[in-house]
Chain A
Amino acid sequence: MKKNGRGIATIMFGFGYGAGFPDHSIASAEIEDEGKILIRTAAADVGQGVLTTITQIAAEVLKVKPEIIQIIPGDTHLIKNSGSSSATRQTFFTGNAVKEASEGLLSNIYHYASIEFRSNHVELGIKDGYIFRNDNPNNKLSYWELAEKVKESGDSLKAEASFFPRTDKPDPNTGQGEKIYVAYTFVTQVVEVEVDTDTGIVQVLKVYTSADIGKAINPQNVEGQIEGGTVQGIGMALMEEQVIKEGITLNPDLTGYLIPTSMDTPRFATRLVENEDSEGPFGAKGVGEPATIATTPAIANAIYDAIGVRIFDLPITPEKILKALKKRETENKIGKKEDF
C-alpha cells in the first residue's frame, strides 16, 4: 500500500570557520587593458557560483556591465589568500573583500578624475565606465582613459581590501564564548513523501523550502544551491552509505554506493527571506551548506507521518522500513503500546 506523509525540519548553521580560527579573504580590483576591470581573488568556484557572485558585486559597485569584470584564474603566485571554498564563507568573506576593493577602486576613480576635471566629488557623475562633470556630461573620460593618465603620473588605478572578522575561541571546558560564528543562516523545509509499505521504497514528492539568506546576490543561484543540497540530503536520508567492515569498503563504486538520480528528484518550491540585515555584502549570508541540512530530518519525520515508524539510523533504506513495519505489526498483535 502507498502511504503519504509530510514532515518539517528547521535548522541553523553558523558559517565561517568560527571558534577563533583565523578566517579572512583578500581581494583586489584594478583597471585592466582592453576595457576590462580585473578582480584578483583565490576563491575557488567549485560549481557554487562564487565567480558569478563576485562579478555581480564588483559590477554593482563600479557601475559597469558584468561582462567588463574579469576574474583571473586561481594561482598561488598571482593572487593572495581568499580562504577556502568551504564553511559557507565565500559570499560573505570574499564577497565583502571584493565589495571593499571595488569601493576602493571607485574612490580612486573619483579622486583622480576630480584632478582631471578640476572639480569636487559632488560635481562628478559616473555611468557605464565613464566619469564626467555633471554640468558637461559630453566631456567624459572612460575608466581606461583615466587609468592611462594616472599611469603617466607614475601611479596606478587599483585597490586591495580584505575582510577579517573576529571570532572567539570558546572556553575549552564549557564551549562558551561571546562570538563563535560570524553569522547564522536559517532554513525550514517541508517535505512530502510517499512510502510503499510493500517494498519499503520512499519517494520524495515535493520539497518546500524557505531560507533566511539575508540577501540573494543571484536568486536563481541560491535556488540552485537549495535544490542541489536537497538532493544530496535525499541521498543521505534514503540511500547513501559507504559500508566499511573491518576497515574494508564493501561498495567502492557507484553500483554499490547509490546516489540520487533525476528520477529521485522532487518538485521544488522555494521562498527566500531577504531582510538584508547581515554584515555580508548587501546584507547577504551564505547558503551552500545549510541548503542540505534540513532535508534528512524532514524526510525522516515525513516517513513517520506516513507509516508511524521511526528510523534512528541512516540511511532509511527499504530494508529498514520493512523490518520496522514488521516489528510494529508483531507488537500490535501482542498488544504492546506504541511508544511514540
Chain B
Amino acid sequence: MMAEGVKKMTKRYVGKNIFKVDAREKVTGNAIYTEDIYFDNMLYLKIKRATHPHAYLRRIDISKAQKLPGVVKIITAADIPKVKNFGLIIKDQPVLIGIGQKMRYMGDALAIVIAESKEAASQAIGLIEVEVEKLEAISDPLRAIEKDAPLIHQDGNILDTYYLKKGDIKKGFAQADLIVENEYRTSFLDQVPLQVEAGVGIFDQETEIIKLWVATQWLHDTQADIAQSLGLPKEKIRIIQPVIGGAFGKKEDISVHIYLALAAMETKRPVKLTYTREESMIAQSKRHPFIIRMKTGVTRKGYLTACQVEVIVDTGAYASSGPAVVHKGLYHCTGPYNVGNVKGVAHIVYTNNTYCGAMRGFGATQMAFAYESQMDIITHRLRIDPVQFRLQNAYSIGSSTPNSQILTLGVGVKETIKLAADIAGWKE
C-alpha cells in the first residue's frame, strides 16, 4: 500500500501510449497472414462435411470424385486407422468419420480431398457419394436431457455438472423481503474474427517434421493436441505462428491442423486449406447458449441475501472448452456483489448443434446478462437508485466470492461504479 503523499515512481514507457509494435506492418499490408503464404507445387484441400447432423455413415463412395482431373488423393477414415480423437479438454472429436461411425453435427468431416487447384477440390467434394442412417437430430438441450432421448455420445447427453454451495440458501431467502425469479436465455454466437481458419503444411522428409503455419491462440497446446491425435512425438509437429487476423476464442480449437498434417505426410508436397466463412460458422466453435434460471433475494433496504441459480448449457456435439466455460459462468453468478447464501447447479449438455467453445468472457458474459438484469429489476421494484444499490452491495477488500475466495488485493469495483456514474452525469 502506498502512503499518502508519496510520489509514484515515474516510468518512461509503462503507462504510455506507445505505437503498437505491429501496426505499421499491418496497415501497410506487409504483415504475412496464413492466406499470404504460398509455395510452388502446392496442393489445395477441401473437406467433405457431414450430410446430416446425427447419423451413422453407412457408405462413402469416392470413385467419381477421384477420377476428376486435378484430384491427387482423397483421404477417408479407412486410410487413417491409427489416428485418434482430439479435443481441448476431452478427446471426443474424431478427425474423420468412418463407416459405421456416427456424425454428430454438420461440421464433422467425412473425407479430405487433395487437389492441384481449389476449384478441383471444391468440385470433387460434390462428387463424393454418401449414404447415412439418420437418427433423431437433437437441437434443444432440454430434449437432450429427457430419458428417452437418443445418446449422442455413449456416456450420456449430460457431459458434466458443477455445483456451488455457500452459506444457507433457505436462510438467505427467509431473510429476503423481495424475491425475484426469472429465466434468461442467450444465443449461439460466432466470434467472427476477420480471418477464417486457414493453414499451410509441409512434411520435411529428412527430419520427418510436419511444419504448420496456422494462426493459433496457444501454440504448445495445439501442438500437443495434433501430436496425440497422430500418435507422433510432440517435436515432430512444428507450428509457426503467422500474423493473426483476430481470434476471440475461435482459434483455440483444432481446425485445419490435422487435415493439413495428414495431407502433407501423404503427398510429400506443400498443402493449403482455407475455410469459407460458411464452413467456419458451421464447423468451428460457437459461444455457448445458456439457459439461466435465477432467483435472487433482497431486503427492503436493498441488501442481497440469497442467489440461487440453475444453468443448462448447450455445448453442441463436442466438449471443446465447454466444461471450463460452464463452471466459469456458474462461479460468476452473483456478479461483484456480497451475497452470503448461494446455491447453484450447472449442467453441460451434448446436442447435435455446432460445438461450442471459447468466446470472449467464457460463460461469465452469459451469466452477467442474468445477474445484472436481476439487479435492475430489483432496483425498480424497490425504487432504489441503481448506482446506490450497486455501491451498497459491491465487493471491497475482504469480501468473499461465490467460491468463498476472500479478496485481498485489487478490488476497485466501487470506484468504477462512482466514476462511470460521474462521467455519465448520473443523478437519481
Contacts and interface: CB of A to CB of B under 8 A. Distances in A.
A138 to B, nearest CB: 23
Interface in A246-300: 246-249, 252-254, 257, 259, 269, 271, 273, 275-279, 281-283, 285, 288-294, 296-298, 300
B22 interface: yes
A23 to B, nearest CB: 11
B217 A186 contact: no
Given A247-B54, A253-B278, A177 B404 contact: yes
Interface residues of A, number: 126
A253 B281 contact: yes
Interface stretch (A83-91, A114-122, A150-158, A196-204): A83-91
B187 A232 contact: no
Interface string B379-422: 01100001100100011000001111111011111011111111
A124 interface: no
Interface string B81-95: 000000000000000
A63 to B, nearest CB: 8
A200 to B, nearest CB: 17
Interface string B265-306: 000000000000110011000110000000000000000000
Contacts, number: 385
A42 B415 contact: no
A312 to B, nearest CB: 5
A47 B281 contact: no
B377 interface: yes
B330 A175 contact: yes
A297 B294 CA distance: 15
A300 B364 contact: no
A216 interface: yes
A11 interface: yes
B251 A175 contact: no
Given A192-B424, A236-B189, 17 more contacts: A13-B361, A14-B401, A63-B12, A75-B239, A186-B412, A188-B417, A210-B417, A214-B410, A219-B15, A245-B139, A247-B352, A249-B354, A253-B278, A273-B419, A275-B415, A289-B360, A315-B187
Interface of B: 1-2, 8, 11-22, 52-54, 105-106, 137-139, 162-166, 180, 182-190, 192-193, 215-221, 223, 234-235, 237-241, 244-249, 251-252, 277-278, 281-282, 286-287, 324, 327-328, 330-332, 335-336, 344, 351-354, 358, 360-362, 364-365, 368-369, 371-373, 375-377, 380-381, 386-387, 390, 394-395, 401-407, 409-413, 415-424, 426
